Amino acid sequence: MEVVIVPDAMAGGELIAETMAALVRRKPDALLGVATGSTPLPVYEALTAKVRAGAVDVSRVRICQLDEYVGLPSGHPESYRSTVLRQVVEPLGLTEDSFLGPDGTARDVPAACAAYDRALAEAGGVDLQLLGIGTDGHIGFNEPCSSLASRTRIKTLTRQTREDNARFFDHDIEQVPHHVITQGIGTIMEARHLVLLATGEGKAEAVARSVEGPVAAVCPASALQLHPHATVVVDEAAASRLR
Ligand code: F6R
């Protein structure tokens, strides 16, 4: 695992966008796994700027989603499908055809989860998966004590994560769904390159436990220690509890 400390979130975004651009120059139809939440926004802004400046051609890139709320109606602005289309797919000039995600509206959720794992494998596997980290060490929506071998499945969000995400739902926790579909930790670990971005003091404890603590299900991001190509990009505040 490589840990890169950058001065701030903008620098982290630029570094990861350049890593993505370099991958796409080598492999124009790369499958890029993206995350939602606040942290990755500087990455998407920096990558979009590169595309608009003609520094990289992403026209054949495919985008896939890490996780999705269960039960939000199709087209809900806070569904992760809508969010990824708005924040990544459209700014990069791509269409929904280039996009893969789990179906959070499916009646048979376990079948939708299995179908998504199959779709990722049939697409050739994820080349680079971008990850954020929860204050409790979650990746995707694999909350503490998720199996490190888990596959895409339904999970119940902790109260902490629902509180953290209430800001996207008019600060009303009652509107935040209780359930999500998330790529499992085992699924995430199959990506060829994992890139985790963490910024701000609030993530410092989770970063320290993930990078320097024991590999344990109680801190899902610690699984990255076992990945052959994992890069953790942290700003100085998020790095402040590293030894
Ligand atoms: C979102 C996701 C989550 C977030 C994490 C951090 O797709 O998978 O693991 O990355 O909750 O969220 P932010 O970046 O908003 O602090």
Which spans in the chain are helix H?
9-26, 41-52, 80-84, 109-122, 159-165, 185-188, 204-212
| Residue from 138, 159, 181, 196 whose mutation best tests the ligand 1 pocket (most atoms within 8 A of CB) | 138
Per-residue model confidence as pLDDT tens digits over 183-204: 999 999 999 999 999 999 999 9
Using the mean position of ligand 1's atoms as its centre, give its distance from the Cα of residue 142 in Å. 11
pLDDT of 191: 98
Any ligand 1 atom below 6 A from CB of 66: yes
| Dist. CA 95–CA 180, nearest whole Å | 24
Any ligand 1 atom below 6 A from CB of 165: no
- Bridge partners, 182 (sequence order): 67, 153
pLDDT of 61: 98
State the pLDDT confidence band at 13, using cuts at 50, 70 and 90: very high
- Give me the mean pLDDT over the 76-83 stretch: 96
Using the mean position of ligand 1's atoms as its centre, give its distance from the Cα of residue 140 in Å. 7
Any ligand 1 atom below 6 A from CB of 136: no
CA-nearest of 206, 224, 36 to 136 is 206
Pairing between β-strand 179-182 and β-strand 153-156 as defined by DSSP bridges? antiparallel
Query: For the whole model, what pTM was predicted?
Result: 0.97
pLDDT of 161: 86
pLDDT of 48: 98
CB atoms within 10 A of CB 98: 19
Per-residue model confidence as pLDDT tens digits over 112-136: 999 999 999 999 999 999 999 999 9
pLDDT at 19 > cutoff 90: yes
User: Where do the domains of the chain lie?
Assistant: 2-235
State the pLDDT confidence band at 222, using cuts at 50, 70 and 90: very high
Instruction: Provide ipTM, 2 decimals.
Output: 0.98
CA nearest ligand 1 atom 13, residue: 37
Atom of ligand 1 nearest to the CA of 80: 7
pLDDT at 243 > cutoff 90: yes
pLDDT at 29 > cutoff 90: yes
pLDDT at 74 > cutoff 90: no
State the pLDDT confidence band at 26, using cuts at 50, 70 and 90: very high
CATH class of the structural domain 2-235: alpha beta
Instruction: Supply the Cα-derived Rg of the chain in whole angstroms.
Output: 17
- Give me the mean pLDDT over the 160-172 stretch: 93
Using the mean position of ligand 1's atoms as its centre, give its distance from the Cα of residue 61 in Å. 23
Per-residue model confidence as pLDDT tens digits over 136-165: 999 999 999 999 999 999 999 989 889 989
- Bridge partners, 131 (sequence order): 196
State the pLDDT confidence band at 91, using cuts at 50, 70 and 90: very high
What residues are labeled active site? 67, 136, 138, 143
**Mean confidence (pLDDT) of the chain:** 97
CA nearest ligand 1 atom 2, residue: 140
Q: Which residues contact 112 (CB under 8 A, 6 or more apart)?
A: 102, 103, 104, 106, 181
pLDDT of 160: 86
